[in-house]
Amino acid sequence: MAKSRKQLDLLNGSLWDKMIVFAVPLALTGVLQQLFNAADVATLGHFVSRDAMAAVGNNVPVIGLIVSLCMGLALGANVIVARYIGMREEALVGKAVHTAFALAVIFGVVIAVFGELCSGLITELLEVPESVAGHAETYLRVYLLGMPFIAIYNFLAAVMRSRGDTKTPLYALVAATIFNIAGNLFFVLVLGMEAGGVALATALANGLAAAILFVNLLKSDSMLRLEVKKLTQIDPAILRTMVRIGWPAGLQGMVFSLSNLVIQNAINSLGPDAMAGSVAGFTIEINVYCFINAFGLAATTFVSQNYGAGNLERCRRATWVSAGINFVATLVLVAFVWYFAHDLLGLFSDTEEVIALGVTRIMYVVLPEPVNVIMETVSDAMRGYGYSLPPAIITLISICSIRVVWVMTMFAATPTYETLMMVYPISWITTTVFLCILYWRHQKSLEKKMAEKMERRAAAEKAMAEGAAEA
């Protein structure tokens, strides 16, 4: 079978150029996913009200919590499929692809039902101001109806990524983004649906993106091909491994979202201006993170394939090449965002108080983002080896505890927006130190296992040679 032009050879040749080809479309995919949120914020901010705009920001941590778990499980699929590709086990690749699709459908349906039952309770627990609460509940309820589409898109994108194809998911999301922007304007300006309208447009757009990837894999002639008769087939052993690797990755992402829920609750206590300024700043900063995350996922995929092929040295080189390119790209993006901060925030609001608070968030959260590069790279590289739970535990203990304690002590003593934003860089720096120590210990452990494996192989070869000589 001829090699697809969309497939990158991750096992041989230079790394830096393939890393860029792999990561840039992935980063742009992340940016387009965030554009969904940005389009919602901008539409509601300019054509509805400040309260409706704040409702989207209120739901960001909640949605982030759920999507983080989804993407973590999808990452488990990415690691397993990439490993089987590296091992050249085509039958296992097929089983893993169909197991991933079935898991996506189950996860999406469960979360959609959960959203319908619990959206009102979540809004109450977050103590959303009365003027915002109605918009917030409606947005969350409608958004989560589209969760099956979000799950299918992310799982199938992860499957494609495992073979080096990051362009097809990007093209699907381009079409979905255009649909989402047009849908926002239609539902709000023509039908007057406000927050529920932009959430519905987002859900339908996610459905379009999922459908494009689904049809693409149905028609594919590669080992990643989906077959209709196998769509409900789940391999229990592969599912267990996929979840074992994926759920800690999802947990790590959820930790950030859980801690952000605590911070969001504190932001809500500062009023609608703080809520609106925070969501505007977040909408910009998350796009910088998309590039950090893309190169981190590149490290996961490159490491996973090469680990499956038994090339530990190339795994390490892939990790540090990813970190180096990521660091340079992040510095450039941070400089750009800081220089144009006021203009960028003006896209979401024309209120100076809101813009000023957004600038404050950028100063405390975007400027320290290079620290995130190291944290993401070492964590994602360890996932590529299948070593997923310990990094999640460290993140859980460090990030969550620092942010919760900070809100309960420092912010309680000085309840200002600046005091609240300071917790982000402090928690990142602490977590990065612990993760680097864990990565070093993990590499030492791998070296020991590799040495023991080579000793066993040498002993077996020696015994065979001695047996042949006696014969």
What tokens were used for 95? 């089983």
Q: What is the pLDDT of residue 216?
A: 92
More confident of the two residues 447 and 52: 447
Q: Token match 């790209």: residue?
A: 329
- Identify residue 107 by its one-letter amino acid code: F
Q: What is the pLDDT of residue 1?
A: 39
Quick one: average pLDDT of 298-325? 89
- Say if CB 318 and CB 19 are below 8 A apart: yes
pLDDT > 90? residue 87:
no
More confident of the two residues 91 and 43: 91
pLDDT > 60? residue 3:
no
Task: Using only the alpha carbons of the chain, give its radius of gyration.
Answer: 23
pLDDT > 50? residue 12:
yes
Q: What is the pLDDT of residue 290?
A: 87
- Identify residue 165 by its one-letter amino acid code: D
- Say if CB 145 and CB 163 are below 8 A apart: no
pLDDT > 50? residue 440:
yes
CA distance 56 to 45: 10
- 3-state secondary structure at position 37: helix
- 3-state secondary structure at position 387: coil
72-76, 147-151, 358-362: which range is least confident on average? 72-76
Count of Cβ atoms closer than 10 Å to residue 402 Cβ: 19
Q: What is the pLDDT of residue 462?
A: 63
Give 310's pLDDT tier (boundaries 50, 70, 90).
Answer: confident
Q: Which helix (H) or strand (E) holds 251?
A: helix 236-268
- Residue 29's nearest CA partner among 213, 252, 278, 216 is 213
Half-sphere exposure of 134 (CA within 13 A, CB side): 6
Quick one: average pLDDT of 17-32? 86
Quick one: average pLDDT of 88-94? 86
173-182, 224-233, 457-466: which range is least confident on average? 457-466
Q: What is the pLDDT of residue 458?
A: 65
121-135, 334-348, 390-404, 426-440: which range is least confident on average? 121-135
Quick one: average pLDDT of 420-424? 92
Q: How far, rounded to the nearest angstrom, does the alpha carbon of residue 352 sit from its chain's CA centroid?
A: 32
pLDDT digits (tens, 9 = 90+) for 373-418: 999 899 999 988 888 888 888 888 888 889 889 999 999 999 999 9
- Distance (Å) of CA 283 to CA 39, 278, 403: 10, 8, 21
- Say if CB 283 and CB 361 are below 8 A apart: no
What tokens were used for 146? 């589209």
- Residue 354's nearest CA partner among 57, 107, 118, 83 is 57
What pTM does this model have? 0.75
- Say if CB 26 and CB 166 are below 8 A apart: yes
Non-local (6+) Cβ contacts of 200 within 8 A are: 142, 183, 187, 193
Q: What is the pLDDT of residue 436?
A: 93
- Identify residue 247 by its one-letter amino acid code: W
Q: What is the pLDDT of residue 359?
A: 92
CA distance 352 to 359: 10
- Identify residue 41 by its one-letter amino acid code: V
Quick one: average pLDDT of 37-59? 71
CA distance 317 to 436: 16
- Say if CB 326 and CB 16 are below 8 A apart: no
Calculate what percentage of the chain has a pLDDT beyond 70: 90
Q: What is the pLDDT of residue 411?
A: 92
What tokens were used for 295? 């190169």
Q: What is the pLDDT of residue 461?
A: 61
Q: What is the pLDDT of residue 254?
A: 73
Q: Is 415 left (phi over 0), alpha (psi -120 to 50) or beta?
A: beta
CA distance 96 to 78: 9
- Residue 315's nearest CA partner among 245, 242, 384 is 384
Calculate what percentage of the chain has a pLDDT beyond 90: 30
Q: What is the pLDDT of residue 149?
A: 94
pLDDT > 50? residue 2:
no
- Identify residue 176 by its one-letter amino acid code: A
CA distance 284 to 278: 10
CA distance 198 to 39: 8
Q: How far, rounded to the nearest angstrom, does the alpha carbon of residue 308 sit from its chain's CA centroid?
A: 23
Q: What is the pLDDT of residue 460?
A: 65
- Say if CB 241 and CB 73 are below 8 A apart: no
Please provide the average confidence, as pLDDT, over all residues in the chain.
84
